[in-house]
Amino acid sequence: MSNYLLIGGLLILMGVAYQYGARRSRAVSKASAKHLHSLPSHYGAMVALACGIPAFGFLILWSFLQPIFVAWVVKSGAPPDIAALSGPDLNQLIGRVTSIASGYGVSDTASAFEREAAGRLSNFLNIVSLAKIVVAACLAVGGLVFALRRITPQLRARNEVEGVIRIVLILCSTVAILTTVGIVMSMFGETIRFFSFVNPIDFFFGLNWNPRFSSTGGGSGDFGLIPLLAGTIMITVIAMLVAVPVGLMIAIYLAEYAHPTVRTIAKPVIELLAGIPTIVFGFFALTAVGPFLSDFGALFGLQIRATSALTAGVVMGMMIIPFISSLSDDIITQVPGAMRDGSLALGSTRSETIKKVILPAALPGIVGAFLLAVSRAIGETMIVVMAAGNSPVLHANPFEAVATVTVSIVNQLTGDLDFASPQSLVGFALGLTLFVITLGLNVVALYIVRKYREQYE
Amino acid sequence: MSVQTKPKVVAKDVNVYYGDKHALKNVSVNIPERAVTAFIGPSGCGKSTFLRCFNRMNDTVDGARVVGSIQIDDQDIYDPDLDPVQLRARVGMVFQKPNPFPKSIFENVAYGPRIHGLAHAKPDMEEIVVSSLRKAGLFEEVKDRLHESGTGLSGGQQQRLCIARAIAVSPEVILMDEPCSALDPIATARIEELIAELRENFTIVIVTHSMQQAARVSQRTAFFHLGILVEEGTTDDIFTNPQEKRTQDYITGRFG
């Protein structure tokens, strides 16, 4: 709670600093009879930032350092067996001591040492929280005074504020990048651990997927990627066979034939399809498309399971249609009107113009859109979980059930988890594999799209 | 300069509307055969709009409406029975900005003959392409790279490629919409020479911003202002002895 008060106090102080800065700059300007370099509001902002940044920086730094000090306080004066603790056991001890010190207590009886350490810790924390307020206040006021003194008509407060804004923007973009790096790193570590149990060759080229439950102990089962990858590819291909022709024709209609009013209505409606949660698509597959395909197949004497690669692929294709149509439509409209006019003026019809001039010119961009849709399809989970039947067996029959990489991750990483067993760790290896595949596709797709853009500039 | 007696194209009381805007008002003009007719006038005066009536390119603009009659060889091109696609094979067009297709030079020129089925065998097509490129004065420059992309040529070459593409379907009339406005003076001079050569075989209508260009290449000139045809006559008359004050003001550079 005291933290919120502290932050609130700092914000108020920054507001005051702003007023002081602005007022002081006016006074300085009047006294020296010189024109200010920047507006008074820039000086105010500069003073407010000088007041807030050091104090907040200190608070952030402290939140990282506090656990280290807490561990040090808990361990100091401990008997040798406790001093030797490390890793999860130490964390557990610190957790217990912290909750005793905060007055919540622990469920079982605390040991003498824990009670004694808790007393020390609560003293320490009391002192620290006071010290924290004092230091933050000093930094804030110090920054304020220092900045106020710097104000002269020549000071380029405007440029300094600009610099701070730039740094804030850079920090924000760094967060996004670091998140990606963090995700990859976390998967990477677990994947390495997985490969200490299972030979990478058995994983990447294994033809059997049969991870036994870790509770059965002993042998670790088969972790062959190939059946899952085959399932993923089969469903993706089916989805693309549905989505590409339909999506492309929608795009051609919207870009070349549709009246502007039709276009302004139809385009958002089609894009609405992309906003439907995939779990709803899965539901649709399970209750509508699957039974329909099954009955439809029966008419021709075909055995189609209600939950099969076909069902999942068809529904996924429907989900992807707006991706293809929307991206392709943008690309087709970007083909310069001069191409269209040139072809029409030579006496070709509209569809000849589209087939022979527009589509070839837009092809690289359409391929890029196609690849983006593929990477979307490969990573799709919910539809496949619900509609593909989850059968990790290598076969080439789209009317049968399959399992995909994403489904297997769900299976391996839900329920009771034991992160020391390959049965769970394989989820990370699968995730990383998927990440590398989609990353590769995205890079290729973006490269193609960019190359295409340059062509007309 | 003697001009053929019978006009190739006769436009009568042509009005063009873009939505509510009345872009061209009661324009009547005769275009002589195998000669160059220039349309001049300040920006937005309707000269390009009028040009696009001759091959019905205004049909492709949403909300555009053309009223009046235009006859080519005594046939009304706005007759409902007439197929605008067929008309455009008879009336070729060259645009302001060179717009070669992103295909090879050969394929650019072969495009029109191919869609109209003008060549029955491969050698026929090659002959059409080579002779079109020759007529457009481009063949010598590109004969070694016919199968490289047309977009890799220089601006002036691209424009001559577009002219070759237009004449490959053997049109009777060629419309040129400011064909040199995106080109440097040397490329412009080259295109102007070409226009003079093409005049032997084609009826040419050219829209231009440059009065010098109109004076150099055309035999007849029509001056447009604010959607109205102000004056029309032989180029010599228009430039040396204009009847209307607005024409004189424009030609002497007092406005526009």
Q: Is residue A209 part of a domain?
A: no
End-to-end CA distance of chain B: 28
| Closest C-alpha among A411, A391, A409 to residue A399 | A391
Q: How far is CA A125 from the centre of its chain?
A: 36
Which pLDDT belongs to residue A121? 83
Is the pLDDT score of B256 beyond 70?
A: no
d(CA B60, CA A340): 10
Measured distance CA(B16)–CA(A147) in Å, rounded: 68
Contact (CB, 8 A) for B138 and B161:
yes
Nearest to A344 among B60, B86, B97 (CB): B60
For residue B108, give the 3-state DSSP assignment.
helix
Averaged pLDDT for residues B83-100: 93
Mutation target to probe the A interface, by most A beta carbons within 10 A, among B85, B94, B158 is B85
User: Which of A261, A346, A366 should we substitute to test contact with B (largest number of B Cβ atoms within 10 Å)?
Assistant: A346
Residue A367: partners with Cβ closer than 8 Å, 6 or more residues away: A445, A448
The C-alpha angle with vertex B117 and arms to B116 and B121, in degrees rounded to 5, equals: 150
* Contact across the interface for B151 and A352, Cβ inside 8 Å: no
Cβ–Cβ below 8 Å for A341 and B60 = yes
- Note whether A144 and A13 are within 8 A (CB): yes
Alpha-carbon distance of B160 to B166, in angstroms, equals: 10
Return all residues near B68 (Cβ < 8 A) that are at least 6 apart: B11, B12, B13, B14, B15, B26, B27, B78
How many contacts does A have with B, using Cβ atoms within 8 A?
68
Final residue of a structural domain among A155, A170, A199: A155
In chain B, which residues have their Cβ closer than 8 Å to the Cβ of A258? none
pLDDT, tens digit (0-9, with 9 covering 90-100), for A77-123: 777 777 666 667 777 778 888 888 777 777 777 777 777 788 888 88
Of A339, A346, A455, the CB nearest to B165: A346
User: How far is A236 from A221, CA to CA, in rounded Å?
Assistant: 27
Which 8-state DSSP code applies to residue A285? I
Contacts of B78 (CB under 8 A, 6+ apart): B56, B66, B68, B69, B70
- Which tokens sit at A250? 């929608």
Domain spans of chain B? 7-251
First and final C-alpha spacing in chain A: 57
**Which two tokens mark B144?**
């070694």
- Separation in Å, CA of A348 to nearest CA in chain B: 6
Model confidence pLDDT, tens digit, residues A120-141: 888 888 888 888 889 999 999 9
Rounded to whole angstroms, the Cα distance separating A383 from A313 reads: 9
Judge whether A34 lies within some domain: yes
Q: Quickly count: other Cβ atoms within 10 Å of residue B145's Cβ.
A: 13
**Domain, as residue range, for A109:** 3-155
Q: How many domains does chain A contain in total?
A: 2
Q: Are residues A126 and A266 in the same domain?
A: no
Quick check: is A92 in a domain? yes
- Whether A153 and A37 have beta carbons less than 8 Å apart is answered as yes
> With contacts defined as CB-CB under 8 Å, which chain B residues touch A341?
57, 60, 93, 95, 99
Q: Looking at the domain assignment, is residue A145 inside a domain?
A: yes
Closest CA to A410 of A424, A391, A396: A424
> pTM of the predicted model, to two decimals?
0.74
Contact A365, A333 (CB under 8 A): no
CATH topology of domain B7-251: Rossmann fold (3.40.50)
Residue A239, in any domain of the structure: yes
CB-count burial class (<10 Å; 0-12, 13-18, 19+) for A251: buried
Mutate: best of B93, B116, B149, partner A, most A CBs <10 A: B93
Q: Longest C-alpha distance within chain B, in Å?
A: 57
Instruction: Tell me the three state secondary structure of residue A33.
Output: coil
Q: pLDDT class for B43, splitting at 50, 70, 90? A: confident
A421 and A295 in a single domain? The answer is yes
Q: Are residues A237 and A117 in the same domain?
A: no
Average pLDDT estimate for B108-122: 92
The answer to whether residue A194 is domain-embedded is: no
User: Which distant-in-sequence residues (6+ apart) come within 8 Å of A27 by Cβ?
Assistant: none
Please, what sign has the CA dihedral across residues A84, A89, A91, A93?
A: negative
Domain membership flag for residue A173: no
Q: Which residues contact A157 (CB under 8 A, 6 or more apart)?
A: A25, A37, A38, A42, A43, A45, A46, A151
Interface of A with B (CB under 8 A): 259-260, 336, 338-349, 352, 356-357, 360-361, 455
Do A117 and A259 belong together in one domain? no
Least Cα distance to A283 among A239, A319, A324, A231 occurs for A319
* Same domain membership, residue A104 and residue A9: yes
The interface predicted TM-score of the complex, written ipTM, equals 0.90
For chain B, give the number of residues.
Answer: 256
Q: Tell me, what DSSP letter sits at residue A354? A: I
In this structure, the number of other CB atoms found within 10 A of the CB of residue A196 comes to 9
Residue A163 CB contacts under 8 Å (≥ 6 apart), including other chains: none
Q: Per the CB < 8 Å rule, is A343 touching B86?
A: no
Compute the distance between CA of residue B237 and CA of residue B233 in angstroms, rounded to an integer: 6
Looking at the structure, tell me whether residues A425 and A285 fall in a common domain: yes
> Sorting pLDDT into bands at 50, 70 and 90, what band is B203?
very high
A345, B62: Cβ pair inside 8 Å? Answer: no
Q: What is the pLDDT of residue A313?
A: 94
Asked if B101's CB is within 8 angstroms of A361's CB, the reply is: yes
Asked if A339's CB is within 8 angstroms of B85's CB, the reply is no
DSSP SS3 for A102: coil
Q: Searching chain B, which residue's CA lies closest to the CA of residue A342?
A: B99
Inspect the interface and report whether the beta carbons of A341 and B103 lie closer than 8 Å.
Answer: no
Tell whether A330 and A424 lie within a shared domain: yes
Q: Please give the torsion angle defined by the CA atoms of residues B152, B153, B154 and B157, in that order, rounded to the nearest 10 degrees.
A: -160
Question: What are the chain A neighbours of B112 within 8 Å (beta carbons)?
Answer: 346-348
Which residues fall within 8 angstroms of residue A313, CB to CB, at 6 or more apart?
A234, A235, A236, A237, A238, A239, A241, A242, A398
The reply to whether A140 and A260 lie within a common domain is: no
Tokens of A366: 């359409």
| Measured distance CA(A399)–CA(A403) in Å, rounded | 13
From chain A, the residues in CB contact with B102 under 8 A are 339, 360-361, 455
Q: d(Cα A108, Cα B135) in Å, to the nearest integer? A: 101
Rounded distance between C-alpha atoms, residue A51 and residue A280, angstroms: 51
The closest CB to that of A345, out of B86, B92, B97, belongs to B92
Measured CA to CA, the distance from residue A126 to residue A123 in angstroms comes to: 5
Distance from CA of B249 to the nearest CA of A (A): 34
d(CA B151, CA B105): 8
**Last residue of a domain, which of A123, A155, A187?**
A155
pLDDT digits (tens, 9 = 90+) for B134-187: 999 999 999 999 999 898 899 999 999 999 999 999 999 999 999 999 889 999
Yes or no: say if B12 and B45 are a contact pair by the CB < 8 Å rule: no
- Find tokens 């100091």 and name the residue: A76
Contact: B102, A455; criterion CB under 8 Å: yes
- Give the separation between CA A388 and CA A398, rounded to whole angstroms: 10
Give the C-alpha separation, A336 to A330, whole Å: 12
Residue B18 has pLDDT above 80, yes or no: yes
Helix, coil or strand: residue A311? helix
**Cα A79 from chain centroid?**
45
Distance CA A64, CA A344 (A): 68
Mark yes or no for CB contact A342/B101 under 8 Å: yes
Quote the DSSP letter at residue B106: H
pLDDT tens by residue, chain A, 457 residues: 477 888 898 999 999 999 999 998 888 888 887 788 888 889 999 999 999 999 999 999 988 888 888 888 877 777 777 766 666 777 777 888 888 877 777 777 777 777 778 888 888 888 888 888 899 999 999 999 999 888 888 888 888 889 999 999 999 999 999 998 998 888 888 899 888 888 888 889 888 888 866 445 555 678 889 999 999 999 999 999 999 999 999 999 999 899 889 999 999 999 888 889 999 999 999 999 999 999 999 998 888 888 899 999 999 999 999 999 998 998 899 888 889 999 999 999 999 999 999 998 888 888 888 988 998 899 888 899 888 888 888 888 888 889 899 999 888 888 776 777 888 888 889 999 999 999 998 898 888 877 766 555 4
Total length of chain A: 457
Q: Which two tokens stand for residue A357?
A: 């001039």
What is the least distance, in Å, from the CA of A346 to any CA of chain B? 6
In A, minimum Cα distance to B176 occurs at A345
What is the C-alpha separation between A283 and B225, in angstroms, rounded?
Answer: 66
Q: Is residue A201 part of a domain?
A: no
State whether B57 and A345 contact (CB < 8 Å): yes
